[in-house]
Amino acid sequence: MNIGEIINDALRYPFNNIKAFILYLILGIVAAIIGGTTVVTTIAAFRTKGLASITLSGIGIVEIIVFIILMFLISGYALDIIRYGIERRNDGPGIDFGRQIFNAVKLLVVDIVYYVVPCIIIFLLSLFLRSWIMTIIALILFIVFALANFMAKCRLAKTEDIGYALAIGEAIGDISRVGLGKIIVIAILLFLVIFIILLLVGIIGALNDLIGDILLGFALVYIIFFYNRAIGLLYSDV
């Protein structure tokens, strides 16, 4: 797909899948509510003593666990949006609780590896090279691994195989297969669209806080659908 087709499809995708959009919005709202109550419960646990403190601490731990599970579910759901983009499916994902949470855990491992590896390389090279050279090398390494991580996320979404996603050399090779120039242009356009959306929400929010908060919630879910759909379509030609 060319760049125009990718952006156009990604912009329309949330509106073409209202049910999936609302489902994801509900997940986000529930996670936000639980996250907020967790903070309140934790503060209350510190301010009380005895049995009440123990009870509140227990409730807080349960809330934290539920919040983490929901965040993993949301992350796994976003991976499915990418997969649907890679497969060029026009429908939206449903909830597949166990699989999506498990895939989100895999994604966390992939993200850690792709940012730890360049840090280790930079540390080892810094033992032998001068600081100004290391600055250039570090910048190049982080850009390459950030792009490779971008490809790895798509590889994981496509196959659900963590080994396939952790094949760093192949992920780096995917950058050239997709096209570095195409990736950069898409990244710039995604940034511009997201910036414009948030700017408009900010302007409206300055006029009315309640409406602004509601619109921000919708905007963030729209951005997640738009962004993940776009990168899925970008990878669909590989």
Q: Which amino acid is present at 122? A: I
Secondary structure tally for the chain: helices H, strands E: 9, 0
* Spatial CB neighbours of 20, under 8 Å, sequence gap ≥ 6: 91, 92, 93, 94, 225
Q: Identify the residue with better confidence: 176 or 238.
A: 176
- Per-residue CA distances from 157 to 77, 110, 132, 167, 229 (Å): 10, 12, 38, 14, 12
Q: What is the pLDDT of residue 94?
A: 87
Task: Give the span between the Cα atoms of 164 and 149, in whole angstroms.
Answer: 12
Q: What is the pLDDT of residue 127?
A: 79
- Sign, Cα dihedral of 22, 23, 28, 29: positive
Task: Give the span between the Cα atoms of 152 and 163, in whole angstroms.
Answer: 10
Task: Give the span between the Cα atoms of 238 and 233, in whole angstroms.
Answer: 10
Model confidence pLDDT, tens digit, residues 100-157? 999 999 999 999 999 999 999 888 888 777 777 878 888 899 999 999 999 999 999 9
Model confidence pLDDT, tens digit, residues 69-91? 888 998 999 999 999 999 999 99
Q: What is the pLDDT of residue 235?
A: 95
- DSSP assigned state of 129: S
Model confidence pLDDT, tens digit, residues 37-69? 776 676 766 667 666 666 766 777 877 888 888
Q: What is the pLDDT of residue 60?
A: 73
Q: Are 142 and 104 in contact (CB under 8 A)?
A: no
Average pLDDT for the chain = 87
Q: Are 230 and 85 in contact (CB under 8 A)?
A: yes
Q: Are 74 and 98 in contact (CB under 8 A)?
A: no
Enumerate the domain spans of the chain: 3-107+179-235
Q: What is the pLDDT of residue 228?
A: 95
The structure tokens 């003593």 sit at 49
Q: What is the pLDDT of residue 154?
A: 96
Residue among 202, 193, 206 at smallest CA distance from 14: 193
Q: Are 77 and 24 in contact (CB under 8 A)?
A: yes
